[in-house]
Amino acid sequence: MQTAHELFIHEMQDMLSAERKLTEALQEQEENASRPELKKAFASHRAQTEKQVERLEQAFEQIGEEPEETECKGIEGLIEEYQTFVEEEDPAEDIIDVFSIGAASKVESYEIRAYESLIEMAKMMGHTKAQRLLQQNLKEEQATLKKMQALSKRIKPQNMGMEEEEMEEQSSQRSSGRGRSRKAA
Ligand SMILES: [Fe+2]
């Protein structure tokens, strides 16, 4: 590979593959989630991701390239991590919910950085229409990350896995402002 154009297309193909894989993964996340509000969040995020795939395909068209895929190992790794956790750790329902929110936030952070970098490249190369489409996707990813962050503040695990005394000690330390890192179990 020699040119910025080739690099840009490579990165676009990477993102197209990522978004398509995420469409499937979001369905799994929706099925595995137990809280209705979380199921709803994943369902609407899935619908949004399908639109993002369409925008990427349009961006390819704008540049005069075929919408081909390059395997996105980064996103695939994050998806695999999620699946392995659910299949192998025998997690309780509320733990799956908390884990899913964390996994989705990691994906969003990755996507945000990827789109920012694609937008920089599109701008540099004067692909104005493609740039606009990418910017729409970026905006949605940023909004989804915020939504996940809000959900993670609300949805807490039921069992903290700590003794009652230890929890009381921690909360009294928090209120007195003295932080102490928790000993590893
Ligand atoms: Fe996305």
Is residue 45 within 8 A of residue 146, CB to CB? The reply is: no
Q: Which two tokens stand for residue 27?
A: 């369905």
pLDDT of residue 178: 56
pLDDT band at 163 (very low <50, low <70, confident <90, very high): confident
Any idea what the Cα angle at residue 38 is, between residues 154 and 32, rounded to 5°? 125
Task: Give distance in angstroms: CA of 107 to centre of ligand 1.
Answer: 8
If pLDDT is split at 50, 70 and 90, which confidence band does 153 have?
very high
Give the pLDDT score at 68: 97
Cα-only R_g, the chain:
20
What distances in angstroms separate CA 15 from CA 18, 98, 178, one per listed residue? 5, 26, 45
Which residues are within 8 A (CB) of 10 and not within 5 positions of it... i.e. 6 or more apart? 1, 70
Give pLDDT tens digits for 55-79.
999 999 999 999 999 999 999 999 9
Q: What is the pLDDT of residues 126-151, one digit of tens each?
A: 999 999 999 999 999 999 999 999 99
pLDDT-wise least confident of 24-28, 51-55, 181-185: 181-185
| Ligand 1 center from residue 19 Cα (angstroms) | 5
CB atoms within 5 A of ion ligand 1 belong to: 49, 52, 111
Residue 147 near residue 41 (C-beta atoms within 8 A): yes
* Cβ atoms of residues 72 and 18 within 8 Å: yes
Give 69-127 pLDDT, tens digit per residue. 999 999 999 999 999 999 999 999 999 999 999 999 999 999 999 999 999 999 999 99
pLDDT value at residue 185: 47
126 CA distance to ligand 1 middle (Å): 23
Q: Global pTM?
A: 0.88
Q: Is 71 helix (H, G, I), strand (E, B) or coil?
A: coil
